[in-house]
Structure 1
Amino acid sequence: MSAVQKFSDERLMKVLLAPVISEKATFVAEKNEQVVFLVAPDATKPEIKAAVEMLFKVQVESVQVANRIGKQKRSGRFTGRRNHTKRAFVSLQPGQEINFTEEAK
């Protein structure tokens, strides 16, 4: 039984929110052959792995997650906080790659 079959397709479609396209994410992608995604706050590593394998038809080697605390911000005398986010650093098997510039088929 593969990792994709353990979870419902509906849940896996909600796990990955967006790819992170930034200077740091690009550097990580080139150096460590990883892809960075913004994921749901309650997503687990097995769910992230299954979602990436299902959506992009690639083999995932490992997943590392980082919880990012939202910054404190002020507007006049009122303080607030940006939302907390969770990022997933997905390592792909050698020879695999995800190209976001291609149009989805």
Structure 2
Amino acid sequence: MDYTKILIKPLISEKTTYIKELSRQVAFFVDPRANKIEIKKAVEAAFKVKVADVNVVNRKSSDRVRQGRVVGRVAGFKKAYVTLAPGEKIEFFEGV
């Protein structure tokens, strides 16, 4: 799979900003079919950094219920928390 299709978009929130400062981790929404090895290669190719570890979180889709009735569906997604090697940083996330 092409690395430009594996990384969908960066995940920027208060939690990920705190994790980035604390433990050199950055988070991405990734393609649900991608595995840890493909995610690692995609981040290394896209940002020219060395990746130490990759953790993956799958969130399954769920029904949206209002007043006892199903009114819609919330899409599922896959997140990857990428730990960078010591001394590495991604300039894209700096200053966020």
Match of 1:87?
A: 79
Structure with larger RCO (C-alpha < 8 A, sep 6+): 2
2-side partners of 1:40 and 1:58: how far apart?
20
Normalising by structure 2, we get a TM-score of 0.85
CA contact (8 A) 2:63 2:70 kept: no
SS in 2 for 1:41: coil
SS in 1 for 2:92: coil
The answer to whether 1:43 aligns with 2:71 is no
2-side partners of 1:101 and 1:39: how far apart?
17
1-side partners of 2:61 and 2:36: how far apart?
21
Name structure 2 gaps, 5 residues minimum: none
CA contact (8 A) 2:59 2:78 kept: yes
2-side partners of 1:101 and 1:92: how far apart?
12
Distance 1:58 1:43, change over 3 A: same
The answer to whether 1:24 aligns with 2:31 is no
Match of 1:34?
A: 25
Q: In structure 2, what residue type is equivalent to 1:37? A: F
Among 75, 82, 98, the residue aligned to 2:90 = 98
Name structure 1 gaps, 5 residues minimum: 1-7
Q: In structure 2, what residue type is equivalent to 1:22? A: S
Normalising by structure 1, we get a TM-score of 0.78
Q: How many aligned positions are there? A: 93
User: Percentage identity across aligned positions?
Assistant: 45
